[in-house]
Amino acid sequence: MRAVITVIGKDVVGILAKVSTACAECNVNVMEVTQSVLQDMFAMIMMSDVSDCNIPFSEFSDKMKKLGEDMGLSIHVMHEDIFNSMHRI
Amino acid sequence: MLNVGDILETINMIEHEHLDIRTVTMGISLLDCIDSDIDAACRKVYDKITRYAKDLVPVCEGIEKELGIPIINKRISVTPIAMLASACQTSNIVKFAHTLEKAAREVGVNFIGGYSALVQKGFASGDYALIESIPQALAETEHVCSSVNIGSTKAGLNMDAVAKMGKVIKQAAQLTADNNCIGAAKLVVFCNAPEDNPFMAGAFHGVGEPDCVINVGVSGPGVVRAALAKSEGLDISGVADLVKRTAFKITRMGQLVAQLASKRLYVPFGIVDLSLAPTPAIGDSVAHILEEMGLESCGACGTTACLALLNDAVKKGGVMASSHVGGLSGAFIPVSEDAGMIDAAKSGCLTIEKLEAMTAVCSVGLDMIVIPGDTPDAVISGIIADEAAIGMVNFKTTAVRLIPAIGKTVGDELNFGGLLGAGPVMRVNTASPEKFISRGGRLPAPMQSLKN
């Protein structure tokens, strides 16, 4: 299953490193990364493959959320289907 | 790769604009639980509900986590209990309510609906006893919801039931007077009740439904309001178009959740109810959408027209997003559950008469309206009759959920908390319809019923 990881917040050093390290620890493969700056806000979107994740998906999602809180960022991990169904016909 | 703007839009809708799935409701048929011994029937009801719905809450919580979208309520609707009561040789029907309550607690759902009777053309055996027991049932349970269908376009209005329900609503409030009259907030009187509605208090599992089914109700007034707020200078066609596009997106969410829940629970998918259901939270109000369209306050002249546009555009946008649309589908206008409606009612801009006009074009009816506790029973029945007549003639569902605030009067307030919110006591025209209501009998079905 593919999940979309979004990281939104104020730009600081090492965001990509920390988030991708956390993914690697859980055996989550990052397939594609896009990042942009919107009104001083940093927004990064990572398409990832969580099928071989070594912890349950809900735990992974909580772990990333916690990481975001520690860094003062908002991190969401959501199944790609939610975006596909909302924005594709 | 998905579009960055689209992804951020979805996240913003969920984080800041209160987009959520209001309810995943499992409909369960209890027709195979009928037994002449009420204790045996209750045992079968409890066993069937707890067996079928045991995974409902955990599965929904899993979907919530995976998709990142909140599912606010998990609910159950069952076959109208009056049908089970008709077989029982006892007057102590309220046992069924206690059984439903126990089953709801066991599986952890937020509400269970179906303590209901369908009496649009007359009372069958069991119907009257069930209606009589409603106030007690709602006072002694927390999760059980009740509804009574007193009319339809095909059958006309059962005026005996209309008269009876005025009294029942008052009693339901009286028996729970020490708890904000909450009993009346769990009771709704319908005309043209839908059989697959996932929303409470009016959900029940119709007799034409399969053994078990999953129905999903979406929400999202905040998303529509925010979309309108971002789009200055649109003409009214543009407004309608924007509402359609937003409703499409909201409904797609509902469709996705419904499909997932249906697959994981091994239960067929029924319908998505594409309603705009407000909550008392700031920014999740249907009244604020109408105000965003250009009204100073909800209730101002022009409100009915704005609501007609909204209700229609929501359906047009939503209908393509789901394979099966049903339930109530449209815009809800519950007063106590909507911050904008509460403000408009407090300021006196929104009156019951205006709300009645609005119900001709919205998806349901007079909903969550607090009235003075000394309102005569016949006046409550008169309100039900008026509202049911609108539904009957216009081939639409209408409903009445009034809460007589016992011991309170205009200017006071009732606070239910949670999704039910808080509402000011609204003024009611108390000129007496007593003689009309006490005539009883059946109000004939209109010409519109002769479509065959």
What is the pTM for the complete model shown?
0.92
Model confidence at B8: pLDDT above 90: no
Can you say whether the dihedral through the CA atoms of B12, B15, B16, B20 is positive or negative? positive
For residues B343-351, average pLDDT:
95
Model confidence at B100: pLDDT above 90: yes
- How does the average pLDDT of chain B come out, rounded? 94
User: Which site among B3, B4, B69, B323 would you substitute to test the A interface, given the most A Cβ atoms closer than 10 Å to its Cβ?
Assistant: B4
Asked if the Cβ–Cβ distance from B6 to A74 is below 8 Å, we say no
Query: Does A41 contact B at CB distance below 8 Å?
Result: no
Q: What is the pLDDT of residue A37?
A: 76
For residues B92-112, average pLDDT:
96
Query: Does B255 contact A at CB distance below 8 Å?
Result: yes
> What are B144-185's pLDDT values in tens digits?
999 999 999 999 999 999 999 999 999 999 999 999 999 999
Q: What is the band of B1 on the pLDDT scale with cuts at 50, 70, 90?
A: low
In sequence order, what are the beta bridge partners of A41? A10, A38
Q: What is the pLDDT of residue B390?
A: 96
What are residue B284's phi and psi, to 5 degrees? -130, 45
CB pairs under 8 A between A and B: 68
Q: What is the band of B415 on the pLDDT scale with cuts at 50, 70, 90?
A: very high
Nearest-CA residue of chain A relative to B4? A45
Model confidence at B376: pLDDT above 70: yes
Asked if the Cβ–Cβ distance from B2 to A77 is below 8 Å, we say no
Burial class (CB in 10 A: 0-12, 13-18, 19+), B127: buried
> What are B16-64's pLDDT values in tens digits?
888 899 999 999 999 999 999 999 999 999 999 999 999 999 999 999 9
Q: Distance between CA B78 and CA B138 in Å, rounded?
A: 16
Please tell me the total count of domains within chain A.
Answer: 1
pLDDT tens for chain A, 89 residues long, are 899 999 988 888 888 899 999 999 999 999 999 888 766 778 899 999 999 999 999 899 999 999 999 988 999 999 999 998 888 88
Question: Percentage of chain B with pLDDT > 90?
Answer: 86
Question: Percentage of chain B with pLDDT > 70?
Answer: 100
Which domains does chain B possess?
25-191 (3.20.70.20), 216-444 (3.20.70.20)
Cα B343 to Cα A79, B180, B285, B350, B422, distances in angstroms: 39, 20, 11, 9, 11
Q: What is the pLDDT of residue A1?
A: 85
B123 and B161 in contact (C-beta within 8 Å)?
Answer: yes
| Strand B212-218 to B422-424 pairing | unpaired
User: Which site among A61, A86, A88 would you substitute to test the B interface, given the most B Cβ atoms closer than 10 Å to its Cβ?
Assistant: A86
Q: What is the pLDDT of residue A42?
A: 84
Instruction: Return the SS3 of B421.
Output: coil
Tell me, what CATH number does A31's domain have? 3.30.70.260
Q: What is the band of B231 on the pLDDT scale with cuts at 50, 70, 90?
A: confident
Q: What is the band of B283 on the pLDDT scale with cuts at 50, 70, 90?
A: confident
Find chain B residues with C-beta within 8 A of A85's C-beta.
252-253, 255-256
Q: Distance between CA B183 and CA B416 in Å, rounded?
A: 11
Range of the domain at A46: 2-87
Q: What is the pLDDT of residue B452?
A: 85
Nearest Cα neighbor of B142 from B175, B104, B180, B85 is: B104
Q: What is the pLDDT of residue B233?
A: 87
User: Which site among A31, A82, A83, A88 would you substitute to test the B interface, given the most B Cβ atoms closer than 10 Å to its Cβ?
Assistant: A82
User: Which of the residue ranges B1-10, B270-279, B380-389 would you say has the lowest mean pLDDT?
Assistant: B1-10
In sequence order, what are the beta bridge partners of A44? A7, A35
Q: Distance between CA B280 and CA B443 in Å, rounded?
A: 37
